[in-house]
Chain A
Amino acid sequence: MKGEAVNDYRSNASRRENLVIIGLGVLLLATTTASLLLGKYPIEPGQAIAMLVDKIIPLEQTWTDQQATLFFNVRFPRIILALLVGCCLAVAGASYQATFQNPLVSPDILGASQGAALGAAVAILLGLGASGVSIVAFAVSLTTVLIVLLVGSRARGNHMMIVVLAGFMVSTLCQAGVSYAKLVADPTNQLADITYWLMGSLTGAKMDQIAHAFPVMLIGCAILFILRWRINILTMGDDEASTMGINAYAIRIIVLVAATIITAASVSLTGMVGWVGLIVPHIMRMLVGSDCRKLIPASMISGAIFLLVVDNVARLLSTSEIPVGILTAFIGVPFFLYLITRKKKI
C-alpha cells in the first residue's frame, strides 16, 4: 500500500499554494466589503448593508435618496470597475509573460495601451462623450495590436522577437499621435481631458459602460483560465510543445488575442493604468510558483485586490484625488527596480 501522499501525487508545497489561493479569495471578499463601506460621503456601514440587501429583499428605508444615488451610481460601479480591470490586467500580464517566455513583459507590450490612448485622444478631439471615447479607444487598441501581429507574422527570423520590436515601434508611433493630438487640442477643455485620460482613473465609472465591457472581459478571462495548463507548455518553446501534442501556434494566438482584448477593454474604460499586469503576476509567482494552473487564478484574484486597494487609497487619502494610474506607478516602479536588481532568479 502506498501512502496517502503518493496516491494524491501532490506535494506539500502544492497544497500550501492551494491554501494561498483560497486565502486570497477570502481577502478579496473582505476588501470588497470594506470598500463598499468606506467613502468620503457619509454613509453608515449599516445603511450601506441595508441598501444592498434592499435590492434583493425590500427593507424599510433608513437612508436618504441622495445617499442611495451616490452609493449605487458612484461608489458601487467604481468598486466593480476596479475589481474587473485589476483582474483583467493581472491575468493578461501573467499570460503574456508565459507566452513570451519573459517575466518582464507587460500586457501592453504589443501596443494595446498606446493604441487605446491614441483612440481616446482622437475621440476627445472629435468631441465624443465618455462612451464614445471608450469605444474608439477599444477599437484603435485592437487595431494597433492586430497591425503588430501582422508585421510579426510576415517577418523572417525569430517571430516573437520581431513581434516585440514591432510592438515598441507601433507604440512609439501612437505616442507621437497622442502628442500631436495634445498639440492641436483646445487648451481650455480638450487638453485637460486628454491629459487626465492618460493618467488613468476609475472616477468616471458608469454602470452601463461596465455592462458593455463585462461580457468581453468575462470571455477573455474564461479562455485564459481554461487554457492555463497549456500555457505552461508554451513556456517550453514551440518545438517541444508541438512534439508533446500541443498545437503551439494556435494556442499562442488564442492566448494573445484573449489577453489583448481584455487589456484593451480595461484601458479603454480607465485610461492608462500601468504596472498591474507586471507587478501582480510577479508577486504571485513568488507565492504560488510559476505553474499557470495556480498562477492564473491567483493573478486574477490578487489583481482585483491590488487595484481595489490602490483605488481606495486614491479616493480616500487626499482631498484632491490622485489618479490611480499615478499611484500604481508610484508603487509599481520601485518594485520593478527591486525585481531586476535582486540577485536571486525570479
Chain B
Amino acid sequence: MSIVAKHVSFSYGKKEILHDLSFEIPDATLVNVLGPNGVGKSTLFRCILGLNFRYQGEIFVNGKSLKSLSVKERAREISYIPQSHAPVYDYEVLDIVLMSTGSDLKMLNTPGKAEAKRAYEALERIGIAEFAHRNYTQLSGGEQQLVLIARAIAQNAQTIIMDEPTSALDYGNTVRVLSCVRQLAQEGLSIIQSTHNPDQAFLYADKTLVIEKGCLKAYGDPYDIITSDLISDLYNIDVKVNSLYGDKVRVCVPTHEIENHRN
C-alpha cells in the first residue's frame, strides 16, 4: 500500500479541518482528490507530506509510520510537486531538478556527477532533456510544471503528491501535464493530485477521493463515484454527468445554465 490513513483528524485550535479520514491508496495508482475550496485538501496533503504533524490518527507511507520517519527518510518515500511558481532567484533547469537529490547525501556533501546524471535522466524520462541548460524563469508555466515533475522523479520516491498541478495552466498545457502524470502512474508510481475539475477524473484517475467539510464523502472508481447527484451536492449547483464515446469518457455539464442560455 502506498498510503494508508487511519482515523486522521486535524484541528487548527478549536476549528476542526479534517474529521476521521480513513482510506488506503494501493501502489501504482493515480488518485484524484475532489472537493470545494477550503474543505481541507491542502491540509490533508500537508499531513501526508509531514509538514503538519499535529494530526490525530495514523498515516503509513509505503508501510512505514509517517511520524517515525526523519525528514530525509520521508523524502525517500514521498515527493511533492507544488504549483509552478516564480522563484526569487533564477536557476538552470538541471540545478532545479538536482535540488531533490539531496536526501541521499551526507550533510557536508554537495551533489556530484552521479546526482547530475540522475537529474538529467529524470528530465529525459519526462521528455524535456533539451531544457536542461535553460533558465527556469524563461520557461512557460506548463514547462515549469514539467520541470517540477522531473524534480519529483529525480527524488526516487514511490509516492508523489501534487497540489492542483494544472490550476494555473492553459488548456494545452493542462492536457500535456496530466497525460505525463498518467504515464508515470502506469510506470508504477502512486500519484495523488487535487483538482477543481471533476471531468479530469474520468480520463486521468484510477480512483477518486471526495472530501466535503473535512470528511471523506466518497472513495472509489471515478465512474462509480462521480454522479450527477454527488457533484450537484458537493458544489451546490445543478450538474448532470453525461456519457460520451460509448461511455469511454464522461463530462459534467451545469444543466440549468443551458436552459438559462437558450431561453
Q: Is there an interface contact between B120 and A290, defined as CB atoms closer than 8 Å?
A: no
Using known A-B contacts A242-B51, A293-B110, determine if residue A232 contacts B94 with beta carbons closer than 8 Å: no
Count of chain A residues with a beta carbon within 8 Å of a chain B beta carbon: 34
- In the complex, whether A235 has a CB less than 8 A from a CB of chain B is yes
Report whether B71 and A245 are in contact in the complex, using a CB–CB cutoff of 8 Å: yes
Q: Which of A96-104, A122-130, A132-140, A311-319 contacts B (4 or more CB under 8 A)?
A: A96-104
Proximity bits, B93-128, A CB within 8 Å = 1, else 0: 011000110110000101101001101100000000
Interface residue B246 (Cβ < 8 Å from any Cβ of A): no
A233–B96 Cα gap in the complex (Å)? 9
As a 0/1 sequence over residues 66 to 94 of chain B, the CB contacts with chain A under 8 angstroms (1 = contact) are 00000110111011101000011111101
Q: Which residue of B lies closest to A239 (CB)?
A: B51
Bound-state CA distance A229–B119 (Å) is: 15
Given the known A-B contacts A230-B102, A232-B99, are A247 and B133 also in contact in the complex, defined by CB atoms under 8 Å?
A: no
Give the shortest distance, in Å, between A42 (CB) and chain B (any CB): 48
* Distance between Cα atoms of A230 and B79 in the complex (Å): 17
By beta carbon, the residue of chain A nearest B104 is A245
Known contacts A103-B88, A244-B99: A9-B71 contact under CB 8 Å: no
B72→A245 contact, CB < 8 A: yes
B129 nearest in chain A by CB position: A6
Q: Is the CB of B110 within 8 A of A228?
A: yes
Q: Which residues of A sit under 8 angstroms from B92, Cβ to Cβ?
A: 11, 13-14, 289, 291
Distance A285 CA – B90 CA, assembled complex (angstroms):
10
A253 to B50, CA, bound (A): 20
A219 within 8 A of B: no
A240 within 8 A of B: yes
* A226 touches B (CB below 8 Å): yes
Q: A164 to chain B: closest CB distance in Å? A: 15
Closest Cβ of chain B to A22, distance in Å, is 18
Residue B49 at the chain A interface, CB threshold 8 Å: yes
List A contacts of B78 (CB < 8 A).
Answer: 243
Q: Using Cβ atoms and an 8 Å threshold, which residues of chain A touch B120? A: 6, 9
Whether B155 is near chain A, meaning CB under 8 Å from some CB there, is: yes
With both beta carbons as reference points, the residue of chain A lying nearest to B73 in the complex is identified as A245
* Given A9-B120, A243-B51; A232-B95 close (CB under 8 Å): yes
A236 interface residue (CB < 8 Å to B): yes
Instruction: Report the minimum CB–CB distance from B90 to chain A (whole Å).
Output: 6
Residue interface bits A9-24, CB-to-B below 8 A is 1, else 0: 1111110000000000
> In the complex, which residues 64-103 of chain A have their Cβ closer than 8 Å to any Cβ of chain B?
98, 101-103
User: Which chain A positions have C-beta within 8 A of B119?
Assistant: 9
**Residues in A neighbouring B155, C-beta threshold 8 A:** 244-245
**Who on chain B is nearest to A12 by CB?**
B133
Q: In chain A, what residue has the closest Cβ to B120? A: A9
Cα A289 to Cα B116 in complex, Å, equals: 18
Interface residues contributed by chain B, number (CB under 8 Å): 38
List A contacts of B74 (CB < 8 A): 243, 245
How far is it, in angstroms, between the C-alpha of A289 and the C-alpha of B79 when the chains are bound? 27
Set of chain A residues within 8 Å of B80, measured between Cβ atoms:
239-240, 243-244
What CA separation (Å) do A103 and B94 show in the bound complex?
22
Bound Cα distance A345, B136 (Å): 13
CA A303 to CA B133, docked complex, whole Å? 28
Are B75 and A291 closer than 8 Å at their CB atoms? Answer: no
Query: Which chain B residue lies CB-closest to A102?
Result: B88
- The answer, among A102, A229, A247, A285, for a CB contact under 8 Å with B110, is A229
> Which residues of B lie under 8 Å from residue A240 when comparing CB positions?
80, 82
Are A290 and B89 in contact, with the CB atoms below 8 A?
yes
List which A232-281 residues lie within 8 A (CB) of chain B: 232-233, 235-236, 239-240, 242-247
- Name which residue of chain A comes closest to B151, CB basis: A244
Question: In the complex, which of the residues A6, A236, A290 has the most CB atoms of chain B within 10 Å of its own CB atom?
Answer: A236
Interface pair A226/B113, CB less than 8 Å apart: no
Inside 8 A of A232's CB, which chain B residues have their CB?
A: 91, 95, 99
From residue 272 to 313 of chain A, which have CB atoms closer than 8 A to chain B?
285, 289-291, 293
Q: Please, what's the 1-or-0 string for A197-230, where 1 marks a CB less than 8 Å from any CB in chain B?
A: 0000000000000000000000000000010111
Given A291-B91, A293-B110, do A236 and B99 touch, yes or no (CB 8 Å)? yes
Q: Is the CB of A98 within 8 A of B102?
A: no
> Which residues of B does A touch, CB under 8 Å?
46, 49-51, 71-72, 74-76, 78-80, 82, 87-92, 94-95, 99-100, 102-103, 108, 110-111, 113, 116-117, 119-120, 132-133, 137, 151, 155
A239-B82, A291-B91 known; 7 new pairs, CB 8 Å cut-off, are A233-B102, A239-B51, A243-B51, A244-B151, A245-B74, A245-B100, A289-B90
Closest 9 pairs between A and B when the two form their complex, measured CB to CB: A245-B75, A245-B103, A290-B89, A11-B133, A243-B80, A9-B116, A229-B110, A245-B72, A244-B100
- 19 residue pairs of the A-B complex, CB under 8 angstroms, read A8-B113, A9-B113, A11-B92, A14-B92, A98-B89, A102-B88, A103-B89, A233-B99, A236-B87, A242-B71, A243-B74, A243-B78, A243-B80, A244-B80, A244-B103, A245-B71, A245-B103, A246-B71, A293-B110
